[in-house]
């Protein structure tokens, strides 16, 4: 079954394409990676999938239902962790935020509190549960955002830059948790600039640039992609492919200009 199917999706902001005729199919029960340069359209596509913003043309189906027809019910069964933890209330404590999320999901209180305790303990947040979210670091906010989503036990989990701001221990725990969620049949979409983590965790990846999908592959096949037709040299990593496909053709000239800036010193007044 396709959890997400996107057909000829187009989204414009003013005169610019943010999403330009994108087609994509994401199957059930796997970990799917989306990478791209800043402004490539990754987060815009996420917001179209979850119904946060309308799109200009094309169609999106989630769990085989049209996003356009689902309206406010689109987020049922979908858990989203946004890059800047925008779904958190800064004037609440971590505990209050999680209880609020649990009530929205309709959890029975005893079950909800047990889930909250387990999640806070896993993310080493128990001692900070009564601190205001406004006082949290970026990484601590990320932990609460992830915990809020997991309370719902969604079938589709979308993580937008989930690794940013996390310490080494939490990174290890999050990667382990993502693998565990997959074994439970969850479908996980990860949007990230951390290419090594995408290659490590995901079974399939796409690279977006200027609103288009310019590359799609199983991560296991990355090392089989030919880099040089003459020598038959292959790519060593997703990062190599990413740089090769997205690097500006004027990059060398830009680098030379930067070096000139560093050599030029202002005269003292």
Fold designation for 2-223: Rossmann fold (3.40.50)
Q: What is the pLDDT of residues 185-236, one digit of tens each?
A: 999 999 998 999 999 999 999 999 989 999 998 988 877 776 665 566 777 6
Model pLDDT, residue 125: 96
Q: Are strands 16-27 and 226-228 parallel, antiparallel or unpaired?
A: unpaired
Model pLDDT, residue 18: 87
pLDDT category of residue 250 using cuts at 50, 70 and 90: low
Helix axes 109-122, 94-104, angle to 10 degrees: 140
pLDDT category of residue 119 using cuts at 50, 70 and 90: very high
What's the distance, Cα to Cα, between the start and end of the chain in Å? 70
The residue-averaged pLDDT of 39-59 equals 90
Model pLDDT, residue 98: 96
Q: What is the pLDDT of residues 157-196, one digit of tens each?
A: 999 999 988 999 999 999 999 999 999 999 999 999 899 9
Task: Give the chain's mean pLDDT.
Answer: 87
Residue 28: is it exposed, middle or buried by C-beta count within 10 angstroms (0-12/13-18/19+)?
A: middle
Whether this prediction's pTM lies above 0.85 is answered by yes
For residue 93, report the phi and psi dihedrals to the nearest 5 degrees.
Answer: -80, 170
């Amino acid at each position: 079954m396709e959890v997400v199917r996107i057909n000829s999706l187009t989204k414009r902001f003013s005169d610019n394409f943010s999403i330009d005729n994108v087609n994509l199919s994401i199957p059930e029960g796997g970990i799917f990676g989306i990478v791209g340069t800043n402004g490539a359209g990754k987060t815009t596509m996420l917001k179209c999938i979850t119904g946060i913003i309308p799109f200009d043309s094309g169609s999106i189906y989630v769990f085989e239902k049209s996003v356009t027809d689902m309206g406010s019910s689109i987020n049922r069964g979908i858990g989203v962790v946004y890059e800047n933890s925008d779904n958190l209330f800064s004037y609440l404590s971590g505990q209050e935020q999680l209880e609020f999320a649990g009530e929205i999901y309709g959890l029975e209180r005893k079950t909800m509190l047990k889930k909250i305790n387990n999640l806070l303990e896993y993310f080493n947040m128990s001692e900070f549960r009564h601190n205001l979210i406004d006082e949290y670091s970026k990484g601590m906010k990320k932990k609460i955002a992830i915990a809020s989503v997991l309370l719902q036990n969604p079938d589709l989990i979308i993580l937008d830059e989930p690794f940013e701001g996390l310490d080494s221990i939490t990174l290890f725990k999050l990667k382990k948790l993502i693998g565990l969620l997959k074994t439970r049949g969850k479908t996980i979409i990860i949007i990230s600039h951390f290419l090594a983590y995408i290659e490590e965790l995901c079974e399939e990846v796409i690279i977006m640039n200027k609103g288009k999908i310019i590359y799609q592959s199983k991560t296991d096949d990355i090392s089989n992609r030919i880099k040089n037709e003459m020598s038959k040299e292959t790519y060593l990593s997703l990062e190599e492919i990413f740089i090769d496909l997205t690097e500006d053709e004027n990059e060398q000239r830009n680098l030379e200009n930067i070096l000139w800036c560093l050599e030029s010193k202002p005269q003292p007044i």
